[in-house]
Amino acid sequence: MTEGAAEETLKLLEESARRIVADAHPFETHRMRAAAEHPDCLPTWKALAENGLLGATVAEDLGGAGLPSRASALVAQALALNLAPDPYVESMVVAAWLLEHGLHPNQAAKWLGPIVEGASMAGFAHGEDYHPDGPENILASAELRGDTWYVSGRKTGVRAGGDCDWFVVSARIVEEDAIGLFLVEAEDESVQRSSFRTFDGAVLADVTFTESPAVHRLFQDEEVWRWLQRVQNRADAILGSQAVVLMEKLLTDTVDYLKTRKQFGVEIGQFQALQHRASDMFVAVEEAKAMASLAVDALDEERDVSDPLFPATRICIAETAMKVAHDAIQLHGGMGVSDELFISHGAKRLKAIAHAFGDETFHERRHGDGLLAELEGAA
Amino acid sequence: MYFRESKEDAAFRAEIREFVASELPRDIKEKVAHGVYLIKEDYVTWQKILHKQGWFAVGWPKEYGGAEWDVKRQLMLYQECALADAPPIIPYGVKMIGPIIYTFGSDAHRKEHLNDILESNVWWAQGYSEAGAGSDLSALRTSAVLDGDEYVINGTKMWTTEAQWADKLHCLVRTSSDGRQQEGITYVVIDMDARGLSVTPIITIDDVHHTNQIFLEDVRIPVSNVIGEVGKGWSYARFLLGNERAFIAETGSKISLLNKIKDKASDVFNSGGRARDKDALIRELSRLETRLASLCAVEKGYVEKWIADGGSPGPESAVLKIRGTEILQDMAEFSLKLFGDRATAYELAAIKGLGQNETESACATRFGYQYLYGRCWSIFGGTNEIQREIIAKQLLGLVFK
Ligand SMILES: Cc1cc2nc3c(=O)[nH]c(=O)nc-3n(C[C@H](O)[C@H](O)[C@H](O)COP(=O)(O)OP(=O)(O)OC[C@H]3O[C@@H](n4cnc5c(N)ncnc54)[C@H](O)[C@@H]3O)c2cc1C
């Protein structure tokens, strides 16, 4: 594909993703989620699959469209902008990608086909109360008996975990003193799931595995922690792009409000105190946009797994996203905290993004570790 | 926080502590301790207990049934109650309309209302704000037109908190459109079951129904429901704002929240959670504690000053409101980091009551509830931008609008 044609493809993909997700999960439906007894966790999944969007970045010979990572960012942005709860980042950007790269090529086609079609979904079962800092935080264990690996342990906060058909599970292999990744069937009777809801309208599950048989071990003899670092980087970039579209929307809505809401006989945008706040929001959006864009493009470059760009993107996003979210609320006055406008919902989604795959403190430390290594290396 | 008190004050504090420890019902204490949503009955029960002890309307003059405590003693009471997980006092009656009635109302009004306020028999709501009149409150348009010996009221009030529980509404209405917009405002009392009055819920960012919109369509009230003079409502509302803002920092409930966050942090670190981030998290917590201590120190200085010069809070209350709300918001936001994978957990059932098995996600939910509802604090009661205006005007010697 020429560069021009690729750009055109991505533009069309962005338009169709936004249209499809907006149709499948309109704002009024989202507003009703909190009151719903059993909110649908996958309102857009089927439509995404039918339109070839789930597999946008999956290799063509595995049933996908083989597009660059930017395509993933665009699909993820469509979901965020419409507040859709579907686990695209966890299940496609991370779990499906691990299957794509960690299974034997013959096997990969067999597994990715149904996933891309939306007939089957894999979740990422990795955290154990906290997002793991390093291999030492993985206490779930895997044991080989005969030809089968058995996984035991508790994984927490698996997005849409109640709806998954399979789990990609990280577990410690005691004999090898290494971390492995295993594919386990969710419906197996040894797997227990307990779901809880989140303030951004998602449903997460704590999943307990008790000697649960794995159908595959991914990346056989490779160092799995490095692959886990790579998916961390993928999640960082894609979550960052999700934050950016929400920030842009909150900024636009706030600017519109400043121009129309009147108090003291004038549009509130006439107050210099608010003009400066809006300017600072704009600056924040510019920074976030630039960083997230770099991070997404970097996914398709040969980057070191510990490249500081990724944690830096997350630090930047955590700071700017919460600034924009909180200011958007504040500048709307009471309307900012009502459930009637997009503002409060967008702000909650931003907070959830800021906590997914590690919070600000986590990424600062991660970035700092790299910095320290650099300084010590230079000494 | 961080300071020593005189023997006398310490003894007074101890007396309050002992009283709350023995009289606060267990079930209510448990709910407050866990940050669960309180129902009307919880507040009323506690307020009645305080009243029985003579500790409810502690700021009111004795002749109207109050205790006439100075601000220092009042502050100690509110702090100790909050630290012992007692419900906060609902301000709309005892702190708002009560003082307005005994200061500006007629004897008939005092007879009719003050006792029910003292005994928490009647629940009041505050009907000031409207869709078009928030920060610019005096732009309010709900109209009251004289018809014989009645006023006919039409308009819409917004953000009327706990109106769903209220028996009566104290309300600012417009009786005249002549002159400055502040001049045509009158203070009235409306029964919530008046014909033509209806209440529609507003759901806030925390998915909870705290506040409402009130529609008034040809609601009739007798002329005798006007408090004070027709056209003077604005000055009464300003009196109220000057009067009841001494405790706006709500330091008791903030120290209590900090203690809960520290308990949680201790659990996390002792169980080995977030081992690598421990130093950074502790540093962040240090900063929060320091800011809260500074707020308490500022508050203490103000209280001493108000007692010494007999004054009432001016721009000082704006200082307390800005810092108090910001610290609350930052503490609540920080607390989410202690919940790792469950930081965003939000189960409405966990807010509405205590379950049999208290799960991690239930616990996280209640800190999330603090975080979300916390965004309202810098908006209601005069936004933080308006508070900054108040300070700036004082600093720069500008005249208030
Ligand atoms: C949860 C909740 C409960 C409430 N409960 C009650 C209640 O019980 N009774 C009641 O009467 N009211 C209540 N209120 C209303 C509250 O007092 C108003 O929301 C508040 O005064 C702000 O008004 P507004 O929402 O119209 O915002 P606006 O006044 O429209 O403000 C929008 C933005 O403009 C800014 N702004 C406005 N003027 C200026 C200026 N001159 N300079 C700089 N910035 C400015 C504001 O700070 C804000 O950021 C409640 C509100 C909330 C959210």
A72-126: per-residue pLDDT in tens? 999 999 999 999 999 999 999 999 999 999 999 999 999 999 999 999 999 999 9
Together in a domain, B177 and B254: no
Which domain, by its residues, includes A357? 225-377
| Domain stops at, among B214, B236, B258 | B236
Residue A327 pLDDT greater than 50, yes or no: yes
Say if B35 falls within a structural domain. yes
Domains in chain A: how many in total?
A: 3
Looking up tokens 């900024």 gives A251
CATH number, domain of A259, equals 1.20.140.10
Say if B116 falls within a structural domain. no
Say if B39 falls within a structural domain. yes
Closest residue by Cα to residue B294 from B302, B306, B282: B302
Phi-psi region for residue B260, left (φ > 0), alpha (ψ -120 to 50) or beta? alpha
Which residues of chain B register pLDDT less than 50? 401
Nearest to B336 among A35, A326, A355 (CB): A355
Together in a domain, B182 and B256: no
In angstroms, the CA A50 to CA A114 distance is: 12
Please choose from B100, B129, B187 the residue to mutate so as to test ligand 1's pocket, defined by most ligand atoms within 8 A of CB. B129
Pocket of ligand 1 (CB under 6 A): A 261, 263-264, 268, 271, 273-274, 330-331, 333-334, 337; B 126-129, 134-135, 159-161, 204, 210-211, 376, 379-383, 385-386, 389
| Domain stops at, among A189, A222, A255 | A222
Together in a domain, B304 and B384: yes
A64-82: per-residue pLDDT in tens? 999 999 999 999 999 999 9
Is the minimum CB–CB distance between A27 and chain B shorter than 8 Å? no
Is the minimum CB–CB distance between B359 and chain A shorter than 8 Å? yes
B204 and A365 within 8 Å at the Cβ level: the answer is no
Together in a domain, B85 and B151: no
Together in a domain, A232 and A328: yes
Per the structure block, which two tokens stand in for B254?
């903030």
Per-residue confidence (pLDDT) for residue B401, from 0 to 100: 47
Together in a domain, B232 and B135: yes
For residue A331, give the amino acid letter. L
Together in a domain, A237 and A278: yes
Residues of chain A above pLDDT 70, percent:
99
Together in a domain, A29 and A116: yes
Domains in chain B: how many in total?
A: 3
CATH number, domain of B362, equals 1.20.140.10
Per-residue confidence (pLDDT) for residue B2, from 0 to 100: 79
| Domain stops at, among A203, A222, A241 | A222
Q: Following CA atoms B375, B343, A247, B324 in sequence, which dihedral angle do they give, to the nearest 10 degrees?
A: 20
Together in a domain, A209 and A229: no
Together in a domain, A229 and A373: yes
Together in a domain, A23 and A96: yes
| Domain stops at, among A157, A188, A222 | A222
* CA distances, B374 to each of B99, B380, B386 (Å): 28, 11, 18
Give the ipTM of the model, two decimals please: 0.97
Chain A residues 41-80 with CB within 8 Å of chain B: none
pTM for this one? Answer: 0.97
Q: Which residue has the higher pLDDT, A4 or B63?
A: B63
Together in a domain, A276 and A231: yes
SS3 A263: strand
Decide if B66 contacts B57 (C-beta within 8 A).
Answer: yes
Together in a domain, A234 and A364: yes
By C-alpha distance, the chain B residue nearest A31 is B207
Residue A53 pLDDT greater than 90, yes or no: yes
Residue A341 pLDDT greater than 70, yes or no: yes
CATH number, domain of A34, equals 1.10.540.10
Which domain, by its residues, includes B11? 7-89
Closest residue by Cα to residue B302 from B263, B259, B260, B246: B246
**Mutation choice for B interface testing from A37, A128, A337 by most B CBs within 10 A:** A337
B345 and A204 within 8 Å at the Cβ level: the answer is yes
Backbone angles phi, psi at B105, to 5 degrees: -80, 175
Together in a domain, A215 and A262: no
By C-alpha distance, the chain B residue nearest A369 is B276
**Mutation choice for A interface testing from B344, B373, B391, B401 by most A CBs within 10 A:** B344
Together in a domain, A211 and A234: no
CB within 8 Å of B70: residues ≥ 6 apart: B307
Per-residue confidence (pLDDT) for residue B399, from 0 to 100: 64
Maximum Cα–Cα distance for chain B, whole Å?
A: 75
